[in-house]
Structure 1
Amino acid sequence: MMPEQAPERGTDEVVLQRTAKLLGGKPLLKRKLEHPIDIHEIIRDGLPPGSLTHLLKALRVLRRDADLEQVVGMSVRTMQRLGGRSKPLSPEQSGRTVEFAKVLARATEILGSQDEAERWMKRPALGLDRRLPIELLTTNAGADLVEDYLTRLEYGVYT
């Protein structure tokens, strides 16, 4: 019997760095994300609005409006107005934005490219009861299911 293989040592670090990059990195976040606790702190303090704008501009396959309206928890119009805003996003909006970026970063790492990760989010997933991963990201419970499913994909368990 073979022991269960542990994930590659740097996988979590790579996902953390991809997440930071999707959110605009140190120039926008005003800090480097080096540990998962850093994510908690940027959510608690509120993301700068430029982080959401940066994330939206980084998308290549997903539509920047309707696909993300419910995921991020704000209307398309509000997202468009963020450019001139200096007040940080609320902790709830920040949390949902970070969660989306984190899932996108993880899916990119597992599936090999951001384009494929974005397409995957829009396809029914057998292991998610044929639901679209992006639709499940509208709640914490759904996001947990998507993250669990990504872990199963990483280990080759597709259902």
Structure 2
Amino acid sequence: MAQKATASRRSQKSTVAEIDVLQNWEQLHRRVAGLLGIEAVGRSVGTDPLGAHFLLEGGIPNRAIDHLAGCLKVMGQDSLEQAIGMSLRTLQRKEKKPLGLLSHEQAGRAWQFAELLTKATAVFGTQEEAEQWFERPAIGLNQKRPIDLLTTPAGVKIVEDYLERLAYGVYA
């Protein structure tokens, strides 16, 4: 029994440590860039908060969406489409031109989702759990699924705030 309690405390400490790491802009955005395959195409996020802005403004390749889809472990194509606000047909067109660039809006939505997924992974411990969380109704979100709120900037902010509350043990 004592071992379980100790293991639980270690797990909580490692989760808090992981969340604290994600408060570091540079580390967080490196993980986001990894999900999108940004560095694989020779681009860099930069070392300051404007780095992501300039990266997205300069355009990221269409294949970033394919890379993100390939990194998903539980979520299906429908959920990815919903999370980034692109239809299957649009994704298919982008797939045919992997070196083309996403629009600023498309790149921004893909970046936001990858950032939220990174944060949720830190909170829940595994990417699989994080992906499942996006698709389950949440009490603190008025029984709405987090993924359903990603259609507006206000919804994204609500999901970010809720994840932060979960990270620090405020569940309602």
Q: Structure 2 length as normaliser, TM-score?
A: 0.81
State how far apart, in whole Å, the 2-side matches of 1:118 and 1:133 are: 10
Alignment match, 2:23 = 12
Amino acid at match of 1:158: Y
Query: Aligned-pair RMSD on alpha carbons?
Result: 2.1
Residue 161 of structure 2 corresponds to residue 148 of structure 1: yes
Alignment match, 1:75 = 87
- Tell me how far 1:18 sits from its aligned partner: 1.7
- Tell me how far 1:28 sits from its aligned partner: 2.6
Q: List gaps (5 residues or longer) in structure 1.
A: none
Amino acid at match of 1:18: R
Residue 126 of structure 2 corresponds to residue 113 of structure 1: yes
Q: Summarize deviations over 1:46-75 as a string: whole Å, max 9, x none.
A: 2211111100111111112x2122322221
Alignment match, 1:95 = 108
Q: List gaps (5 residues or longer) in structure 2.
A: 1-15
Which residue of 59, 63, 67 maps to 1:50? 63
- Tell me how far 1:138 sits from its aligned partner: 1.3
Alignment match, 1:41 = 54
Please identify which structure carries the higher helix content. Answer: 2
- Tell me how far 1:16 sits from its aligned partner: 1.9
Identical counterparts, % of pairs: 42
State how far apart, in whole Å, the 2-side matches of 1:57 and 1:121 are: 17
Q: Which protein is bigger by CA-based radius of gyration?
A: 2
Alignment match, 1:130 = 143
